[in-house]
Amino acid sequence: MKNITILLLLCLSACAASKKVESNPSKTLVVSFYSIGSGIDYKTKTEFDKYVEQFQNTEKKTLPVSKVQKGREGEYDYCIDLKPLSSTEQTKFIDGAKQLLNTGQWIRIAEKEKCNP
């Protein structure tokens, strides 16, 4: 009985030790400007470009941003790697982006999603 208890404790401690703990989990934000036959919301896209630039200037951090053109009507996917930001800054950026983008049309926002080239 004593051996079984020791064996269980060893197994549990091994499982707990194998879990990876991240203090600052990196996030990826994917913003897709899509179209339904009439082009994208260029006004909101321009405002979003300004928002990203202004955020980087204010926080004095550079965000890796890749833009991938998807279609013939100006569709774009923005893939923004938020690794350079702290958890608080990531939340601030995402909240600000959502607030701005929720006023536009034909925009999809996804967190922790892989970017497709």
- pTM of the shown model: 0.75
Q: What is the pLDDT of residue 3?
A: 53
93 and 82 Cβ atoms separated by less than 8 Å: yes
The domains found in the chain, sorted by start residue, are 24-111 (3.30.70.260)
Mean pLDDT by 10 residues, the chain (117 residues): 49 47 64 94 97 98 94 92 95 97 96 78
Q: What is the pLDDT of residue 29?
A: 96
- Number of neighbouring beta carbons within 10 Å of residue 107: 19
Q: What is the pLDDT of residue 114?
A: 80
